[in-house]
Amino acid sequence: MLILLPPSEGKAARGDGPALDLPRLSFPALGPHRELVLEALIALCRGPAAREVLGLSPGQAGEVDGNLLLRTAPTLAAADLYTGVLYDNLGLASLSPRAATRASESLLIFSGLWGLLRVGDRVPPYRLSMGVRLPPLGGLSAFWRRPVTPLLDAEPGLVVDLRSSTYAAAWRPGGRAVAVRVLRDGKVVSHMAKATRGLIARSLLEGGVDPETPEELVKVLDHLGHSVVLHAPPTGNRSWTLDVVT
């Protein structure tokens, strides 16, 4: 089973480990693409258009300066880097040893800068959303889709897709995937969805289960105390949809 996560805008302010070592990151085949995005981002941040392109407010101008230091800044594990609502509810630091091992194997974090990360990968804090059109590379979801697709298409097992739409565009896993929505009073919610997705991921890791089909996933989540409804894809190779009712 793979559990796909978005990153979070909220990040730890600083790492405490060695500088970035691209060849040591998971999925080394993505190395040349990571280098292209890293170089393009640093070049952008040397010029006057960086804040506008990155979608930053005046109060976030320091994020541009931080991007300029990405090659030499101290790093930290991705498990400690992301601090948003989803990750607060996932609680990687408080997982049991068995669940932490499962997290290292099952969790994949999509990133506008790194493409894919596992929770043990060490990177510096950065600012670059998958929704950015980064000169001269263009839209990052389309840029990453090309190298990421053959890598993940070769990964076996059920895919539990907890990504937001921006990051979901970087890989479309098709019929073996279950995309999770969160509903309240019959309507899709956003902020609450992040918290619920974090709880879903934690439940699956701590539950010690490995569902192989969407139907098995429903049984697992129901047993773990979540109220869910499964919808089959209407046509073609599209993902299943799992509604979590709060």
Phi, psi of 187 (to 5 degrees): -120, 145
What's residue 237's pLDDT?
65
Contact 109, 78 (CB under 8 A): yes
> Which residue in 106, 132, 120 sits closest to 1, CA to CA?
106
What's residue 178's pLDDT?
96
What's residue 174's pLDDT?
83
Contact 117, 230 (CB under 8 A): no
**Residue 192, class by beta-carbon neighbours within 10 Å (0-12 exposed, 13-18 middle, 19+ buried)?**
middle
pLDDT tens-digit profile, the chain (246 residues): 999 999 999 999 899 999 999 999 999 999 999 999 999 999 999 999 999 999 999 989 899 999 999 999 999 999 999 999 999 999 999 999 999 999 999 999 999 999 999 999 999 999 999 999 999 999 999 999 999 999 999 999 999 999 999 999 999 998 889 999 998 877 777 768 899 999 999 999 999 889 999 999 999 999 989 999 999 987 766 899 999 988
Domain boundaries, the chain: 2-245
Indicate the pTM of the whole model: 0.95
